[in-house]
Amino acid sequence: MIKICGIKNFQAAQAAVESGADMIGFVFAESKRKVSPILAKQIVESVPVKVKKVGVFVDESLDTVTEISDFVGLDYIQLHGDETKEFAEVLNRPIIKAWSIQDKKGVEHFPCDFYLIDSPRGKYNGGNGIAFDWTLVKDLPIDNRKLILAGGLNEKNVIEAIVTVKPAIIDVSSGVETNGEKDPLKIKAFVKAAKQGFEKLKESGK
């Protein structure tokens, strides 16, 4: 599956949907891609049900995460901070828990539906948009059927990333942007390449 994260407007969401993305992500934490719950809700209402909607939160209160998730109509909650297992266990939606590749502690025991492995943290808790050594993922105790690969992906390297890591989902944000904004042409090219990567994986039987 393919996730386009950091959606801030209708045009980006439409480009993701038309290109064949399976998931779109909204950032509700401090970030240059932060979006208001009101706008996110409006965008969600314009997107087909089959495209899953993910909300990204960083060390928010339980009440805030629940309130925004319910209001916007999210399908998944992505925790991108130092949230505890206890915090995740009481949330009312499927969980994606994100880790930077250098932080392996707790990965194998977290109560979540998917583990998102990102490149080392930059200014914000998300990755810095630079690809890391994908072979490092093999050292993590994660079932590939629950693995989301993020960090520095783009149309030129996503096929290699998929074949190397064999993730269930790949996640992109800065790799489909031009001057900090989602680029419909880059989104289309990325999704096309990612689908080729997953097809290669399927053909290999792995």
pLDDT digit string, tens, across residues 156-199 = 999 999 998 999 999 999 899 999 899 999 999 999 999 999 99
Q: Check whether 126 has a pLDDT greater than 90.
A: no
Tokens 């690969």 label which residue? Answer: 149
Question: What's the pLDDT band for 37 if we cut at 50, 70, 90?
Answer: very high
* Beta-strand runs (E) in 12-149: 23-27, 52-57, 76-79, 95-100, 114-118, 147-149
Which residue among the candidates 5, 59, 82, 139 is catalytic per the annotation?
A: 5
Give me the residue spans of the domains in the chain. 2-204
- The domain defined by 2-204 carries CATH number 3.40.50.880: no
For position 106, what pLDDT does the model report?
A: 55
118 is catalytic: yes
Tell me the whole-structure pTM to 2 decimals: 0.90
Tell me phi and psi for residue 144, to 5 degrees: -60, -25
Annotated catalytic residue: which of 63, 82, 113, 118?
118
